[in-house]
A and B are shown apart, each in its own frame.
Chain A
Amino acid sequence: MSFQSRLTCLAGGLTACLALVAGSTFAADSDTARLTKDPKNWAMQAGSLDNHRYSELKQITSKNAKNLQVAWTFSTGVLRGHEGGPLVIGDTMYLHSPFPNKVFAIALEDQSIRWKYEPKQDPTVIPVMCCDTVNRGLAYANGKIFLQQADTTLVALDAKTGNELWKVKVGDPKLGETTTNTPHVFKDKVLTGISGGEFGVRGRITAHDINTGKILWKAYSTGPDNELIVDPNKTMTWTDGKMAPIGANSSLKTWQGDQWKLGGGTTWGWYSYDPELNTVYYGTGNPSTWNPRQRPGDNKWSMTIFARDLDTGMAKWVYQMTPHDEWDYDGVNEMILADIKVKGKPRKALVHFDRNGFAYTMDRVSGELLVAEKYDPVVNWATHIDMKSGRPQVVAKYSTDKNGPDVNTKGVCPSALGTKDQQPASFSPRTGLFYVPTNHVCMDYEPFQIEYTAGQPYVGSTLSMYAAPNSHGGMGNFIAWDAGTGKMVWSKPERFSVWSGALSTAGDVVFYGTLEGYLKAVDLNGKELWKFKTPSGIIGNVTTWEYKGKQYVGVLSGIGGWAGIGLAAGLTKGTEGLGAVGGYKDLAKYTELGGVLTVFALPDR
């Protein structure tokens, strides 16, 4: 319901209000936004509509974080990579697993399982998932849990019982289409995307009615204007130092022939929503194939930030970060909406840490490009972003297109994993800074000619990756970033890439996980306060909530290359022989085996 209709309700009394709602073309807003405002909950994957990954809770502080200890653990029973994190609403946690995409509703009181849901999915979907069988978590609205299964089925469950309410399929795994993203609930809609940029999939997002699953609009990343849902005269983009209309056939003109039909531009990242502007923001992935010589042109609108009207899908503005990608620098990373000072002037900004190694600060109202700077100094494929054209100035010797197929382009930074992949950063409104998990990895990249076959990988390149040369020898950093100036504030080196999503809190603590399996707490200067070794590498996102007056911090571990298998598998069978773990038998009621959610709290004193 809009603000205006609320006013009418107040003025006109109950009958008029009901009539208005019944006659309205817009369904009532969901409760999601309201739930996220209570810091006791963690009601969306990012904690809020604006992707801040920040919590107002402050029982855990930079002074006492060193005392954190394990409160409880929960195992999903699945051994592959565990991305995303739990939702907490009131006294219940909702947790997902990688394929087969189990869902658990867990009572916070005693961690018993209220209900469990396991979809039946064809396992042939597994080999068409490019990058492990991950799932980035659930969404919640109006008593419903939304799960985006690997096989592209979007399902709504009754949050009380786990019963299926509706399902809708948004893609076809036989064509290489799969899904890994979380569904995003904005207002009265649930939005979802598609993965499969390595399989020649044509990227799009769909908006669904939260009550029925009905598709309300579907917007492609490539193709004709009506399928992109753009207005050639009103959809704007950064052109010659100002915003200008994109014009007719903006995508078609930038592809050879029908290549846009296999054009990639998938949409598996973290979307955000500004209720005042009624605008949804998300990014699109790499163009297919990886071999750039096979797809001349800018390949629009792959590698693009989209700003769309939530109700109609109409694109308000677009900005392509990496025209004619030559390195697999997907543009899907999280879109963080923050009201900050940019170059001294207050702005409604959108901040995006792209795989290509540049951190972009845009005006999210107009789409103007404000700041674009390297957030890792080793980034070398482009010297800088030309602020007039908005285009990266590509260095010829790192151009895999210029060097051509079957030539190994060496020493490109960052690697195809990007300076950052999907692992989301955190924004603290208290400091105005962004806390960003990064890769510090370079690559050698060799494209080769490839033919498209439906459902088969359409990659066309081989690559090898290594730690950024002439640096600290490690493959990651955890950094603090000032998006108003485009400058790094501090950088904390890590031995391996940091593939876990960050969390910052009002207690002035910043949390992130490492591939060794450490959950770390650092202060606002990046000083390590505490670390704890969980059973496996962490690629999940750190979450916090409050239950019965106590603040908890939780994170999934489980990377795929499985550690802690003894603990996990040792409890399945043959426990009779395991005198040492005999006492664990009653855990069967509470836990499953596999990837583990480890939950921390301060000790009672």
Chain B
Amino acid sequence: MKPSRLLPLPLLLSMLLLAPMSTALAAPPAAQAAQADDFPTSGRVEYVLECMQKHDGKYEYLYKCSCVVDRIAKSLRYDDYVAMSVALRNQSLAGERGGEFRDEVSVRNMASKYKEIEAGANKACAVPQR
């Protein structure tokens, strides 16, 4: 789950600012999607199951992880959440083709942005970062 390398924050911010807005398929600004709240039930359940597993399956995390995914769903459209969380997971993808996720700046930005959003949601829902 950990990205293999993280960029220094100032560099990251400058890249976010410089990223051309016209690149339709790169991560869109989170703001425009804020009201969507369009996660399907299966997407929420999947998140909760994975999150509970990460916390040793403790029952209290049913509530805490639900809290986290509901918060994430308020800040991202589902399609963007899927792409951004995939960008983060695949930072550690083995082999040459993992380069597609590690080297491309817009994909790294998606990964960092998602990490940030999830960390904020974890904090608000009393879920320790793992």
- Identify the A interface with B (CB < 8 A): 80-81, 130-132, 415-417, 421, 439, 441, 463-467, 472-475, 493-497, 499, 515-518, 533, 535, 537, 559-567, 569-570, 574-575, 577-581
Q: Looking at the complex, which one of B43, B48, B100 makes contact with A496 (CB distance below 8 Å)?
A: B100
* Measured CA separation A570–B52 after assembly (Å): 8
User: Is A561 in contact with B106, judged by CB distance below 8 angstroms?
Assistant: no
8 interchain pairs, CB-CB under 8 A: A466-B104, A473-B23, A475-B100, A495-B25, A535-B46, A561-B98, A566-B50, A566-B53
* Measured CA separation A131–B97 after assembly (Å): 7
Q: What residues of A have a CB within 8 angstroms of the CB of B43 in the complex?
A: 533
**Chain A: CB-nearest residue to B80:** A495
5 nearest interchain CB pairs? A566-B50, A473-B23, A474-B25, A566-B49, A561-B90
Known: A132-B95, A561-B90. A417 touches B100 (CB 8 A): yes
User: Is B58 in contact with A577, judged by CB distance below 8 angstroms?
Assistant: yes
Known: A565-B50, A580-B49, A581-B49. A473 touches B25 (CB 8 A): yes
Q: Which of B16-41 contact A (CB under 8 A)?
A: 20, 22-26, 40
- Asked if B51 is at the interface (CB within 8 A of a chain A CB), the reply is yes
Q: Looking at the complex, which one of A472, A561, A563, A564 makes contact with B91 (CB distance below 8 Å)?
A: A561
**Chain A: CB-nearest residue to B90:** A561
A525 to chain B, nearest CB (A): 20
**Chain A: CB-nearest residue to B19:** A473
Interface membership of chain B positions 79-107, coded 1 if the CB is closer than 8 angstroms to chain A and 0 otherwise: 00011011001111111111111011111
Given A417-B96, A564-B46, A580-B48, 9 other A-B contacts at CB below 8 A? A80-B94, A131-B95, A132-B97, A415-B99, A473-B26, A563-B89, A567-B49, A577-B56, A580-B52
* Measured CA separation A283–B61 after assembly (Å): 52
A95 to chain B, nearest CB (A): 22
Majority secondary structure of chain B interface residues (helix, strand, loop or mixed):
helix
User: Is B96 in contact with A466, judged by CB distance below 8 angstroms?
Assistant: no
Q: What residues of A have a CB within 8 angstroms of the CB of B104 in the complex?
A: 441, 465-467, 475
Q: What residues of B have a CB within 8 angstroms of the CB of A516 in the complex?
A: 82-83, 86
Q: Looking at the complex, which one of B20, B83, B100 makes contact with A497 (CB distance below 8 Å)?
A: B100
B85 to chain A, nearest CB (A): 7
* Measured CA separation A560–B97 after assembly (Å): 11
User: Is B46 in contact with A566, judged by CB distance below 8 angstroms?
Assistant: yes
Q: What residues of A have a CB within 8 angstroms of the CB of B83 in the complex?
A: 495-496, 516
* Measured CA separation A514–B74 after assembly (Å): 25
Q: What residues of A have a CB within 8 angstroms of the CB of B94 in the complex?
A: 80-81, 131-132, 560-561
Q: What residues of A have a CB within 8 angstroms of the CB of B99 in the complex?
A: 415, 463-465
**Chain A: CB-nearest residue to B62:** A580
* Measured CA separation A464–B47 after assembly (Å): 32
Q: What residues of B have a CB within 8 angstroms of the CB of A465 in the complex?
A: 99-100, 103-104
* Measured CA separation A438–B83 after assembly (Å): 18
* Measured CA separation A182–B56 after assembly (Å): 39
Q: What residues of A have a CB within 8 angstroms of the CB of B23 in the complex?
A: 467, 472-473
Q: What residues of A have a CB within 8 angstroms of the CB of B85 in the complex?
A: 563
B54 to chain A, nearest CB (A): 7
Q: Looking at the complex, which one of B20, B51, B103 makes contact with A566 (CB distance below 8 Å)?
A: B51
Interface-centre pick from A493, A499, A561 (highest chain B CB count, 10 A):
A561
Majority secondary structure of chain A interface residues (helix, strand, loop or mixed):
loop
Q: What residues of A have a CB within 8 angstroms of the CB of B57 in the complex?
A: 570, 574-575, 577-578
**Chain A: CB-nearest residue to B101:** A561
- Asked if B42 is at the interface (CB within 8 A of a chain A CB), the reply is yes
* Measured CA separation A575–B52 after assembly (Å): 11
User: Is B97 in contact with A472, judged by CB distance below 8 angstroms?
Assistant: no
* Measured CA separation A447–B24 after assembly (Å): 33
User: Is A567 in contact with B82, judged by CB distance below 8 angstroms?
Assistant: no
* Measured CA separation A114–B82 after assembly (Å): 36
Q: Looking at the complex, which one of A130, A417, A473 makes contact with B106 (CB distance below 8 Å)?
A: A473
**Chain A: CB-nearest residue to B79:** A516
* Measured CA separation A569–B89 after assembly (Å): 16
Q: What residues of B have a CB within 8 angstroms of the CB of A472 in the complex?
A: 23-25
Q: What residues of B have a CB within 8 angstroms of the CB of A439 in the complex?
A: 100
User: Is B49 in contact with A496, judged by CB distance below 8 angstroms?
Assistant: no
Interface-centre pick from A132, A467, A472 (highest chain B CB count, 10 A):
A467
* Measured CA separation A417–B94 after assembly (Å): 14
* Measured CA separation A494–B86 after assembly (Å): 14
Q: What residues of B have a CB within 8 angstroms of the CB of A570 in the complex?
A: 49-50, 52-53, 57
Known: A563-B89, A566-B53, A567-B46. A417 touches B97 (CB 8 A): yes
B21 to chain A, nearest CB (A): 10
**Chain A: CB-nearest residue to B49:** A566
User: Is A565 in contact with B53, judged by CB distance below 8 angstroms?
Assistant: yes
* Measured CA separation A445–B104 after assembly (Å): 14
Known: A564-B46, A579-B59. A131 touches B93 (CB 8 A): no
* Measured CA separation A562–B58 after assembly (Å): 22
B116 to chain A, nearest CB (A): 19
Q: What residues of A have a CB within 8 angstroms of the CB of B91 in the complex?
A: 561
* Measured CA separation A206–B77 after assembly (Å): 51
* Measured CA separation A518–B82 after assembly (Å): 10
* Measured CA separation A464–B96 after assembly (Å): 10
B13 to chain A, nearest CB (A): 20
User: Is B89 in contact with A562, judged by CB distance below 8 angstroms?
Assistant: yes
User: Is A577 in contact with B59, judged by CB distance below 8 angstroms?
Assistant: yes
B64 to chain A, nearest CB (A): 13
**Chain A: CB-nearest residue to B92:** A561
Q: What residues of B have a CB within 8 angstroms of the CB of A416 in the complex?
A: 96
Q: What residues of A have a CB within 8 angstroms of the CB of B40 in the complex?
A: 533
A508 to chain B, nearest CB (A): 26
Q: What residues of B have a CB within 8 angstroms of the CB of A579 in the complex?
A: 59, 62
